[in-house]
Homo-oligomer: A and B are copies of this chain.
Amino acid sequence: MPTIKDVATKAGVSIKTVSRVINDEPGVADSTRQRVNDVIRQLEYVPNLSAQRLKRGRSELFALLLPRVESPYAIKLFSYILREAQKRDYSVLTLAEVNSTPITPAQIEHVVKTHRVDGLIVAPPGADNVVLMNFLKSNHIPYVTINPNLLNEHPFSVESTDEIGANEATRYLISLEHKRIAHIACMKTERFSHERRKGYIRALEDAAPAASAPLIVQGDNSIESGHNATLELLNLPDPPTAIFAGNDEMAVGVILAASHLGLSVPGDLSVIGFDDTPISHQIFPHLTTIAQPIPEIARVSVENLLELIDGKQDVPEFVQIPTRLVLRGSCGVPIQN
């Protein structure tokens, strides 16, 4: 493997000049820069990361705390964060729960110290762990949280627009001329549940009297709870013609319940989910849903963290990123109006 010395010798310059070229520093004549770059290409020279890191006194490594990696949301977030980090020559140390063995703050503290991570990106449930957050704050370790449940607790966070997304989902059902639209709510422990519920209620209130009053059943995010909530809803004297499920799993439960009752989706019942997880295009009909802006969340989180690590002062404290309505096959015009 060629080193910076080999490049310097062959280009007839000092290693410092090569270093300037590598790091895009100013103060190198264009002709010199070009010559050095040619040699770099010719020798297929790549700087030794370990040497750079040692000298810079930085690990160029950040930790990523994820919930159960089995969750599709976590996985997608993970892959995009990985990709964004790689673009910027950063490594990612992923700490994720496997088989619901939770990671303790003490473990994280140990990893942070051992690997000298420059910072952290923290997704729930880590972002809601007060002990952990206090450790990070008191040690002045830069970190960015993603969709935290605890608000105003974190200096820097990146969020998706759950309220607006839910509002858009509901307005879409209204635009199809559904009047009676139910909502199956996610677990109350998650802040996004409230946001989604609020967006749903706001849409109905704005559309009144074209849409009837809110009709909400509490779910627990699982397929089964979506299934049971649907049976309950469809047994009402005046059943809904459309259901906005708080997440895709419960929306799948809606489809399964409809199928058990001999109802067709979207013929007899329209369903819309939230999250755009893989299950949304594994089920039949494919699920119309609200997509989380995961690629953008990943990009902004990484960018902001690296700026914090660089000591920049103008890092935005609170970023909201818009969700997106994804039209598939689970919504239609109501049969009875």
Contacts and interface: CB of A to CB of B under 8 A. Distances in A.
Interface of A: 1, 44, 46, 48-51, 53-54, 59, 69-70, 72, 75-76, 78-80, 82-83, 91, 93-94, 96, 98, 113-116, 222-224, 227, 249, 256, 259-260, 278, 282-284
A-B interface, 10 closest residue pairs, ranked by CB to CB distance from nearest? A50-B53, A50-B54, A79-B98, A69-B79, A50-B50, A46-B114, A51-B54, A75-B75, A70-B278, A223-B282
B75 A116 contact: no
22 contacts: A46-B114, A46-B116, A48-B116, A49-B59, A49-B115, A50-B50, A50-B53, A50-B54, A50-B59, A51-B54, A69-B75, A69-B78, A70-B72, A70-B75, A70-B76, A79-B96, A82-B94, A82-B96, A91-B93, A223-B283, A223-B284, A224-B284
Contacts of A70: 72, 75-76, 278
A281 to B, nearest CB: 10
A80 B1 CA distance: 32
A59 B78 CA distance: 23
A223 B283 CA distance: 8
Contacts of A83: 98
Q: Which of A75, A222, A283 has the most CB of B within 10 A?
A: A75
Given A46-B113, A82-B96, 10 more contacts: A1-B116, A44-B113, A46-B114, A70-B72, A70-B75, A70-B278, A91-B93, A223-B284, A256-B256, A259-B259
A297 B309 CA distance: 37
Given A75-B75, A98-B83, A54 B48 contact: yes
Interface of A is mostly: helix
A24 B249 CA distance: 51
Contacts of A260: 259
Contacts of A98: 76, 79-80, 83
A281 B79 CA distance: 25
Contacts of A91: 91, 93
A283 B224 CA distance: 8
B282 A249 contact: yes
A73 B87 CA distance: 26
A135 to B, nearest CB: 14
Contacts of A1: 116
Contacts of A76: 69-70, 98
A170 B336 CA distance: 49
Contacts of A82: 94, 96
A113 B83 CA distance: 17
